[in-house]
Chains A and B, each alone.
Chain A
């Protein structure tokens, strides 16, 4: 807010050359404060973005939202696209939107997970409730979109429930080898109810754990396990077992500038001080940030007060490096698209609710 009054003071000067629609602020310092988060020894500065539409009016900069401007500046750039892990850059979007998508990814995309476990026999060392919890956390690979939410207190139906059984007995075979010493997720077998076989005509779509080799419990010869598991559909906000992502997070792009004065011994010292090996030394002996993307903002390189004036650690406020790691049931790209749909849908729900009240 202090900034605002400063701008008002200089309003008469800048109003003369009223440059609307320019890309940034004419004042370099203010522009830096608007677009960068400064990371210093004493703490971070300018962490909060300035979103007020009229914050820079006196400087001829329109801070209000315009879809055209947004579309012009917005970029997505995929950095890594593996089946279960997507990393991409999202440029030109502010934190509240990026954060909304991140939060939806973690806690509002529905999946199926084991919710009820009927113990028929459990002579393993694990207590029933601990076993049930472990079973719940196993990601179930099935398309959640074809299921309904189970209505509380109602009977289970083929449209809202999947049943798995787990029946494992550990024993020693003729050669003295222990068989079934570890109960794995592959031992879970799907039991189709009613017309569920028709819901999954292809063998490949059959509901199953996302991975076959998740250990559930260890058994010794003579111990046995027989349980029935009921999967229900829900979202991560109810319990984390329904979250479709291992985690979804973003970091803000680090920007590091090193002063020209950092040469020779000083440059070597700087290069050595960084645990992430961000810096390199030019042939001329000058240090520079060669791999800024690796920076974790640990601030080790500026911990020495002598170095602080020479190294500028900043983050680009509207440049996010987004990482989505799926638990293996839904592809991360699909998850991101689903998250966008859910955000749009949230808005529609509120709109409908408001419209019915007027």
Chain B
């Protein structure tokens, strides 16, 4: 945590969040940086629930490496890229309906806009995020 060792700079460059390793459209390994079981297991779950996906699995190869690997194999009628996009939007849909339901439970309205709640990995360190 010393000033001299800025090891954990959150790069505003979101391009490096995921690396795709794939030599066939229906199979791919996605290497996530700075993600863990939170997203890994949730993604694995929604992918398994997608009828077009044959296999999905994730692993965290080493605890002190901030990487998470996600493997997807589809049934061929869709690409692994499409499958992960589908999975991500499924998680968003689920989250949104959970949010609606908890919103109904609470009478207080939402105080913050989505932009303000951006996760820190989204970059723009000069904006007042969160």
- A interface list, Cβ under 8 A from B: 51-54, 63-65, 67, 70-71, 74-76, 78, 88, 90, 93-94, 96-97, 99-101, 103-104, 108, 110, 115, 144-149, 151-153, 159, 233, 235, 238, 333-334, 336-338, 340-354, 356-358
Contact = CB atoms under 8 A, between A and B. Distances in A.
Tell me which of B32, B102, B108 has the highest count of chain A C-beta atoms within 10 A of its own C-beta. Answer: B102
Contacts of A110: 120, 130
A352 B36 CA distance: 18
Contacts of B92: 344, 347-348
Given A152-B6, A349-B121, A146 B128 contact: yes
Contact of A96 (B42, B98, B117, B122): B42
A345 B118 contact: yes
B116 A145 contact: yes
Contacts of A88: 102, 105
Interface string B3-19: 10010111000111110
B9 A152 contact: yes
B39 to A, nearest CB: 5
Contacts of B128: 145-148, 159
A354 B97 contact: no
B130 A357 contact: no
Nearest to A354: B18
Given A144-B130, A148-B125, A351-B88, A70 B38 contact: no
A90 to B, nearest CB: 8
The B interface, classified by DSSP as helix, strand, loop or mixed, is: helix
B6 A341 contact: no
Tell me which of B48, B92, B130 has the highest count of chain A C-beta atoms within 10 A of its own C-beta. Answer: B130
Given A52-B49, A338-B112, 7 more contacts: A53-B53, A74-B101, A97-B45, A146-B128, A238-B8, A347-B89, A348-B88
Contacts of B114: 341, 344-345
Interface in B71-90: 81, 84-85, 88-90
9 contacts: A145-B128, A148-B129, A151-B125, A152-B8, A153-B6, A337-B102, A345-B118, A347-B92, A352-B17
Given A75-B101, A333-B106, A340 B95 contact: yes
Interface of B: 1, 3, 6, 8-10, 14-18, 20, 32, 35-39, 41-42, 44-46, 48-51, 53, 81, 84-85, 88-99, 101-106, 108, 110-112, 114, 116-122, 125-130
The A interface, classified by DSSP as helix, strand, loop or mixed, is: helix
Contacts of B96: 340, 344
Given A347-B92, A354-B20, A53 B84 contact: no
B122 to A, nearest CB: 6
Given A51-B45, A74-B101, A352-B14, A97 B94 contact: yes
Nearest to B45: A96
A347 B91 contact: yes
Nearest to B41: A96
Contacts of B49: 51-53, 63-65
